[in-house]
Amino acid sequence: MQADYVIVGSGSAGAALGYRLSEAGASVIVIEFGGTDIGPFIQMPAALSYPMNMRRYDWGFMSEPEPHLNGRRMVVPRGKVIGGSSSINGMVYVRGHGRDFDHWADQGAQGWAYADVLPYFKRMEHWHGPQASSWRGTDGPLHVRRAPQEHPLHHAFVEAGRQAGYPEIADYNGEQQEGFGAFDMTVWQGRRWSTANAYLRPALRRPNCRLVHGLARRVVIEDGRAVGVEIGRGGRTEVIRAGREVILAASSINTPKLLMLSGIGPAAHLAEHGVEVIVDRPGVGQNLQDHLEVYVQFAAAKPITLYRYWNLAGKALIGAQWLVTKTGLGASNQFESAAFIRSDAGVEYPDIQFHFLPIAVRYDGKTAAEGHGFQAHVGPMRSASRGAVTLASADPEEAPKIAFNYMSHDEDWRDWRKALRLTREVFAQPALAEHVKHEIQPGAAAQSDAALDDFVREHAESAYHPCGTARMGRADDPGAVVDPECRVIGVEGLRVADSSIFPRITNGNTNAPSIMVGEKAADHILGRDPLPRDNRAPWVHPDWAGAQR
């Protein structure tokens, strides 16, 4: 059991790494604890609410009680399956704003500015949009398609945004993110196009790439160098040896846990759990970030929403059509209209995201009691709040402690009030006003700052974008865990390549930038020159300092 490279995790970044490293001729072993992704719950896009709520596919993590959200424990779904979280997510494809990556570079992640990462986004994509674009890739492994927006409410949402004074955009993953338009989704030929389908299966067809199922217990470090990974499987413990390097791509929850179990992390915390300290890196597990969101829901004045299919017969019809033809409502995640706006003048680029859905329903599949309705998932993008992932014990089978510390800054509350009021303004425009019967939640009575705060406190939920727990930065930065080539500072032969390394959370859903990290890290690991920079700048509102829209 030995390979040149041993990768822990077959998810968004891990699968991309396995593909690129094996493509280069290196031998690769990918370790994955979860099982198969075969079956309609994962492969049918419209069934997305099922796998993230099934213990078979999800690690089942819960946060610690959140002190600023009425002590609620938040669910933290992470994929425990081939393809990782790309096999249980909402399939929404958002690169992030160019300024996100410029900020990374400013924080010490040299070589990760927008000009550096744009070529990797293009390399990984196979774009199936309505028109060709020099901003998009055309022959990568990851099929990305534009949402069809066939339901009239999707167009009404975009038109309402235009009526409110925001731009309508052709491609938020191209030059201009700011505005209202159609979502991109990782769906291809009616199926979820996870990294298992895009990267891992093609890699495993090569003789030099193999998949091993087991629970990664720790990285084996000898004389300051990572030489393998200890795994548990079938009631036995064994070591998979790495001839060149070990790469952790186990998620922003499990990667810091593995680092700490391996003796890399805050020394006092490790000693507290009886873990021998090999490298004192205080940043391991710190800097945890996420996006919060609420569902702003409205009862529909016309019975045209997807609620008409929210019954056994309707679901059976959609499922049967999908099973036979891979078409119809089953072939969409239903998140087909998007918006990215700025909360105020003086905000340089969008800091609020909307997902519009033509039904009032939760991620856990519970519909609004009112029947026909629709909703926008809305939330600020760049909270100042930071949390941490820490060990609960030295037992590798025990889940770590996850504390997001959501809403711990006054500006978080100010940002949320703005987001909710701007949302109501959009839904009051003529294009949507004719469809609105009344507001379900927060509800028309919730107008004051205190009432909106109470609504957020009770109803805000994770958007499932945890990241940042092994932050990338300069090698002399005491809070950094990896350097700009993804090498763990203080250990030879060990890298991290997943959303853990994000210095700051990106704008929007985090799956696309996580895959990009795997793509770019592969070139660093192989010692290749990075792809040539693309120095085009992203669109920024010409009067961003003086105007909100």
User: Which structural domains are found in the chain, ordered by start?
Assistant: 1-145+185-284+470-531 (3.50.50.60), 148-182+292-380+408-459 (3.30.410.40)
* Residue among 329, 512, 464 at smallest CA distance from 53: 464
User: Do the strands 373-380 and 352-357 form a parallel or antiparallel pair, or are they unpaired?
Assistant: antiparallel
Per-residue pLDDT of the chain (549 residues), as tens digits, is: 999 999 999 999 999 999 999 999 999 999 999 999 999 999 999 999 899 989 999 999 999 999 999 999 999 999 999 999 999 999 999 999 999 999 999 999 999 999 999 999 999 999 999 989 999 999 999 999 999 999 999 999 999 999 999 999 999 999 999 999 999 999 999 999 999 999 999 999 999 999 999 999 999 999 999 999 999 999 999 999 999 999 999 999 999 999 999 999 999 999 999 999 999 999 999 999 999 999 999 999 999 999 999 899 999 999 999 999 999 999 999 999 999 999 999 999 999 999 999 999 876 767 777 899 999 999 999 999 999 999 999 999 999 999 999 999 999 999 999 999 999 999 999 999 999 999 999 999 999 999 999 999 999 999 999 999 999 999 999 999 999 999 999 999 999 999 999 999 999 999 999 999 999 999 999 999 999 999 999 999 999 999 999
The pTM assigned to this predicted structure is 0.98
d(CA 301, CA 285): 48
92 is in an annotated binding site: yes
Phi, psi (degrees; rounded to nearest 5) at 397 = -85, -5
89 is in an annotated binding site: yes
Exposed, middle or buried by CB within 10 Å (0-12, 13-18, 19+), for 370?
middle
d(CA 110, CA 133): 27
**Residue for token digits 């425009």?**
429
Catalytic residue among 68, 291, 465, 541, which?
A: 465
Catalytic site includes residue 377: no
